[in-house]
């Protein structure tokens, strides 16, 4: 059985994702589609709109056969580490190929870009641009613009695509990379379009500002609409940063600069800007506008805020920064086909395969993910909050016929 891997967040699953799943399967001639999906906090430093179990079911009902979790240690990282963790997991799952969406839509420029930036001269160019104050994505994009047939690494999906291809090569996986051009909606579009494919950003904006889910129903599969409605019925809300801002302010106002400096991703004295902004801002959006600089992107600051919220220390992350193999593979859900594929290859998986959490796992390799779930549930009222914090233990993998 031939498997293709995709690296996803599904925040939430929409028509563009549906197109990507089915085109990936067609392009790679896959029998089984495997998704590595971020948990409750995402790569751009945001809480997911709804829980990882609801997003898992959305994927399974729309053509993905197996969903495994991208651990917190990779899901809340800059592109290179995010990609390296996801590729390492897919390599453990014996996928033949990985297919990602990109603004470019051709795989060859990504492969050439990786070859080019592995040499010393472009790396020095990137370093010089970083010293001038550019963010890493911008510095990479500017360095590559001097090459023939280059890719635009200021575009979010191109950035991740470059990182996926680099990880595939660096880890000597033998996985074949493929890419599909994003159609119609741009990643950062904030308004719903007239076409059936909208950006996840515009869908989230509508869900947070509109009183009805009906407005976004043309842009998502029917199963997504149903699950969104069910989530609001069950929990009374979707999640966004504003719901966690009081908790973030509390953390900041009760920590010293020295304590903050030990939080993961805290560098160059930015803890002083965070502390100052926490005293002046009344909303998370205002807080972010006070902290952002040319050097620190909005996304990077949000990731710092996630690590403050979860109290994730530099020492905790250090063992995972150089990815040789993932600490585990955790199954969130599968179809019958996914279940059959997993049965065929599970003896080849060299790390723990987690379907049910033991106390030993909870105290060691899964500790950060369990903590992330508990913090994510803090935006809910009791008794939902306490119930949610236990879901990693009480929720088995979803199995769909």
More confident residue, 69 or 154: 69
Instruction: Determine if residue 311 is labeled as part of a ligand binding site.
Output: no
Count other Cβ atoms within 10 Å, centred on residue 275.
15
Q: What percent of the chain has pLDDT over 90?
A: 73
Dihedral angle, C-alpha 327, 328, 329, 332, nearest 10 °: -110
Q: What is the pLDDT of residue 122?
A: 47
At 82, list the tokens: 């995010």
At 134, list the tokens: 């550019």
Q: How confident is the model at residue 268 (pLDDT cuts 50, 70, 90)?
A: confident
Assess whether pLDDT exceeds 70 at residue 188.
no
Q: Taking a C-beta distance cutoff of 8 angstroms, is the pair 373, 306 a contact?
A: no
Instruction: Determine if residue 19 is labeled as part of a ligand binding site.
Output: yes
> Where on the phi/psi map is residue 172: left (φ > 0), alpha (ψ -120 to 50), or beta?
left
DSSP for 79-99 reads: HHHHHHHHHHHHHHTT-SEEE
Q: Taking a C-beta distance cutoff of 8 angstroms, is the pair 21, 5 a contact?
A: no
Q: Which residue has the tokens 């920064």?
A: 321
Structural domain boundaries in the chain:
3-103+155-239+325-333, 242-319
The tens digit of pLDDT for each residue in 229-245 reads 999 999 999 999 999 99
Count other Cβ atoms within 10 Å, centred on residue 63.
17
- Report CA-CA distances (Å) from 8 to 13, 161, 193, 296, 373: 9, 12, 22, 25, 18
Instruction: Determine if residue 17 is labeled as part of a ligand binding site.
Output: yes
Q: Region 163-168: what's the mean pLDDT?
A: 95
Between CA 265 and CA 278 the distance in angstroms is 18
Assess whether pLDDT exceeds 90 at residue 247.
yes
Q: How confident is the model at residue 141 (pLDDT cuts 50, 70, 90)?
A: low
Instruction: Determine if residue 239 is labeled as part of a ligand binding site.
Output: no
> 3-103+155-239+325-333, what's its fold?
Rossmann fold (3.40.50)
pTM above 0.95, yes or no: no
The tens digit of pLDDT for each residue in 356-377 reads 998 777 777 799 999 999 999 9
Q: What is the pLDDT of residue 354?
A: 95
Assess whether pLDDT exceeds 70 at residue 344.
yes
Count other Cβ atoms within 10 Å, centred on residue 249.
17
CA 187 from centre of chain: 14
Between CA 368 and CA 375 the distance in angstroms is 11
Q: What is the pLDDT of residue 129?
A: 74
Instruction: Determine if residue 231 is labeled as part of a ligand binding site.
Output: no
Q: Taking a C-beta distance cutoff of 8 angstroms, is the pair 173, 335 a contact?
A: no
Q: Region 158-162: what's the mean pLDDT?
A: 92
Instruction: Determine if residue 18 is labeled as part of a ligand binding site.
Output: yes
Instruction: Determine if residue 8 is labeled as part of a ligand binding site.
Output: yes
Instruction: Determine if residue 15 is labeled as part of a ligand binding site.
Output: yes
Instruction: Determine if residue 35 is labeled as part of a ligand binding site.
Output: no
Instruction: Determine if residue 72 is labeled as part of a ligand binding site.
Output: no
Q: How confident is the model at residue 139 (pLDDT cuts 50, 70, 90)?
A: confident
The tens digit of pLDDT for each residue in 306-329 reads 999 999 999 999 888 887 889 999
Instruction: Determine if residue 264 is labeled as part of a ligand binding site.
Output: no
Q: What's the Rg (C-alpha) of the chain?
A: 20
Give percent helix, percent strand, percent coil of the chain, each to the nearest 5. 55, 10, 35
* Mean pLDDT computed over every residue of the chain: 90
Assess whether pLDDT exceeds 80 at residue 190.
no
Q: Region 379-386: what's the mean pLDDT?
A: 95
Instruction: Determine if residue 320 is labeled as part of a ligand binding site.
Output: no
Instruction: Determine if residue 136 is labeled as part of a ligand binding site.
Output: no
Q: What is the pLDDT of residue 264?
A: 96
Between CA 338 and CA 31 the distance in angstroms is 10
Q: How confident is the model at residue 120 (pLDDT cuts 50, 70, 90)?
A: very low
Q: Region 211-223: what's the mean pLDDT?
A: 90
Instruction: Please give the backbone phi and psi of residue 284, each rounded to the nearest 5 degrees, phi first.
Output: -65, -40
Q: Taking a C-beta distance cutoff of 8 angstroms, is the pair 317, 73 a contact?
A: yes
Instruction: Determine if residue 367 is labeled as part of a ligand binding site.
Output: no
Q: What is the pLDDT of residue 245?
A: 97
Q: How confident is the model at residue 270 (pLDDT cuts 50, 70, 90)?
A: very high
């Amino acid at each position: 059985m031939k498997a293709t891997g995709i690296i996803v967040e599904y925040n939430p699953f929409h028509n563009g994702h549906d197109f990507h799943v089915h085109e990936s399967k067609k392009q790679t001639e896959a029998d089984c589609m495997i998704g590595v999906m971020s948990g409750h906090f995402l790569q751009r430093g945001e809480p997911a709109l709804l829980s990882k179990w609801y997003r898992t079911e959305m994927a399974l009902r729309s053509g993905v056969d197996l969903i495994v979790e991208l651990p917190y240690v990779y899901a809340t990282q800059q592109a290179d580490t995010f990609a390296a963790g996801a590729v390492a997991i897919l390599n453990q799952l014996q996928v033949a190929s990985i297919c990602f969406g990109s603004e470019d839509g051709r795989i060859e420029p990504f492969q050439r870009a990786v070859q080019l930036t592995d040499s010393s001269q472009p790396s020095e160019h990137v370093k010089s641009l970083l010293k001038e104050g550019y963010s890493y994505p911008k510095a990479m994009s500017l360095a590559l613009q001097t090459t023939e047939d280059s890719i635009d690494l200021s575009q979010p999906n191109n950035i991740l695509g470059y990182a996926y291809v680099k990880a595939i090569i660096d880890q000597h996986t033998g996985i074949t990379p493929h890419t599909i051009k994003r159609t119609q909606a741009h990643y950062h579009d904030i308004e719903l379009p007239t076409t059936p494919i909208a950006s996840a950003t515009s869908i989230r904006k509508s869900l947070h500002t509109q009183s009805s889910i009906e407005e976004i129903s043309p842009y998502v599969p029917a199963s997504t609409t149903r699950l969104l409605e069910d989530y609001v019925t069950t929990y009374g809300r979707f999640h966004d940063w504003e719901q966690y801002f009081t908790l973030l302010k509390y953390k900041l106002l009760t920590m010293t600069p020295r304590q903050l400096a030990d939080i993961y991703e805290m560098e160059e004295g930015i803890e002083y800007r965070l502390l100052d902004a926490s005293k002046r801002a009344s909303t998370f959006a205002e807080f972010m506008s006070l902290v952002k600089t040319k050097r620190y992107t909005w996304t990077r600051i949000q990731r710092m805020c996630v690590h403050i919220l979860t109290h994730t220390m530099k020492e905790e992350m250090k063992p995972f920064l150089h990815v040789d193999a993932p600490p585990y593979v955790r199954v969130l859900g599968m179809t019958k086909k996914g279940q059959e594929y997993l049965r065929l290859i599970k003896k080849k998986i060299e790390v723990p395969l987690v379907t049910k959490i033991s106390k030993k796992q909870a105290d060691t390799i899964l500790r950060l993910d369990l903590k992330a779930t508990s913090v994510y549930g803090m935006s809910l009222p009791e008794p939902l909050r306490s119930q949610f914090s236990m879901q990693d233990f009480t929720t088995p993998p979803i199995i769909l016929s």
